[in-house]
Amino acid sequence: MITITTVSQLEQYRDSLDGTIGFVPTMGALHEGHFSLVRRSIANNDHTVVSIFVNPTQFGPTEDLETYPRDIARDAAQLEKLGVECLFAPISPSEIYPLGRERGPFVDVKLGWATEGLEARTRPGFFKGVATVVTKLLLLVRPGTAYFGQKDWQQLAVVRALCEGLFLRVKIESVETAREPNGLALSSRNSYLEPSARSAASDIYKGLLKAAKCATLGMKKEYLFEQIEQSWQQRLTSGQFQIDYLELCTPELKPIDTVHSNCVVLCAVYVNGVRLIDNILITA
């Protein structure tokens, strides 16, 4: 596997390739969720490029930029075992932001509530940072297909709109959320959880599953959310869980008040102070 740390090296490598290129952008601290994306890319493309870059512009001033888990040596070894051809891991943010983090072009996707609610409500500026770094990486790698996980449903909507609106001509393929055996959605931030909290966090998905099983066409979202909160009641009462948001939307992230034949429940929950997101598609 080739490990590349500069933009000029990446451009030279890209220009040397023949055939299709699949791309998996990540922030490192890789887990099975990332590896499922990588395997999909390898299976469907002649070449696969993975990036590891902890993007500073998508972190707020009180968020965990400095403490975000990093283990580039481990990640590189795992990717090599999977058969990845190229890892792009810029050492300095200046490779991606040559004019600095406060100057230069930035990309701000406007989708109404879909970019103002949910994650954006709690993390202002988050999607501007995501859209900017994804645009830069896609322009650098020029893949035919880029792969993203469905756990970040709102991010998927933003990236798809980004590619359509800027004519980037990249297919965005989503891959089902990878989970631990107890149902907890895999996330790099799970490493912040103590073992007991990690076990408790599996109740997030159990609540979503309960809602999906009881959902019927026309059911009010308030009743649906009651089912979820009942399954979390012990965690909520003890203060172990704190709900940031719980929303019912169409797959395109239009908020709705009743269950449709195809809709999604999205949530963000603090578990012992660690913020985790998850979602479930409901086909009532």
Catalytic positions, written as ranges = 34
As a whole number of angstroms, the distance between CA 113 and CA 116 comes to: 5
Residues 6+ apart with CB under 8 A from 109: 115, 127, 128, 131, 158, 161, 162, 165
Q: How far apart are alpha carbons 116 and 122 in whole angstroms?
A: 9
b/e per residue, 216-243, with b = 16+ CB within 10 A? Answer: eeebebeebbebbbebbeebeeeebbee
Q: What is the side-by-side strand order in the sheet with 263-271? A: 241-249, 263-271, 274-282
**Residues 183, 131, 63, CA angle at the centre, nearest 5°?**
60
DSSP letter, residue 145: E
